[in-house]
Amino acid sequence: MTQTIEIQNQNFILHPTGALYWQEKSMLLISDVHLGKISHFRKYGSAVPGKAILKNFELLDEVATYFNPKAICFMGDLFHSAMNKEWHLFEAWVAKTQAHITLVSGNHDIISPLRYEALGITVLEQLVLDLFLLTHHPETREGLYNFSGHIHPAVRLKGSGRQSLKLACFFKSPQQLILPAFGEFTGNHVLKPNKKNKVYAITKNEVILVSD
């Protein structure tokens, strides 16, 4: 189950994968996939199942099929570090994807932009569309609403006893929305909302407003 929100008279759909769909632009926003991270950890001996490598591509297929966007914007940290065998999986995924792809580069994006451009992907430091600013790191800029990633936001929910549950989330403030990390095996950072924030926690199948 998704959630639909309105910002600056535009409509956005929050998806359980952590992706955000901008209806008026037919654009899918995805942050912090960190492709290649699992292969990197496996190379140095971490006991991560090899099938986990395919999970990110399965999720990308799922959300792209669900929305059928005209454009996809990766908002930084698409790849975790240097190229490895997951690049070939990414090439195959791009080849079958009809949407135009843009990468707003993040701090982990060290692969040459020429590699992306050879696949038809536009690489930018930031993207301004109408009254919206798309960046990797959260930014504040007068007159623009900021969509960003980088933080890997999460919220901790507490029960009546000692129960505690940490969930990735969309973290919304009056001038900014921070997207959760899309990628598997990325980790997250718990943020504490104040009265001005809205927090949309994500589970496997649902987006839930937990703080308003």
Average pLDDT over residues 65-83: 90
Q: Please report which confidence band the pLDDT of residue 183 belongs to, taking 50, 70 and 90 as the band edges.
A: confident
CATH class name, domain 3-211: alpha beta
- Summarize pLDDT for 4-48 with one digit per residue, the tens: 999 999 999 999 999 999 999 999 999 999 897 655 455 545 545
Whether the Cβ atoms of residue 85 and residue 39 lie closer than 8 Å to each other: yes
């718990």: which residue's tokens? 190
Mean pLDDT of the chain: 90
- Summarize pLDDT for 189-204 with one digit per residue, the tens: 999 999 999 999 999 9
State pTM to two decimals. 0.92
DSSP line for 83-124: --THHHHHHHHHHT--SEEEEE--TT--S-HHHHHTTT-EEE
Segments making up each domain of the chain, as ranges: 3-211
The answer on pLDDT for 158 being more than 90 is: no
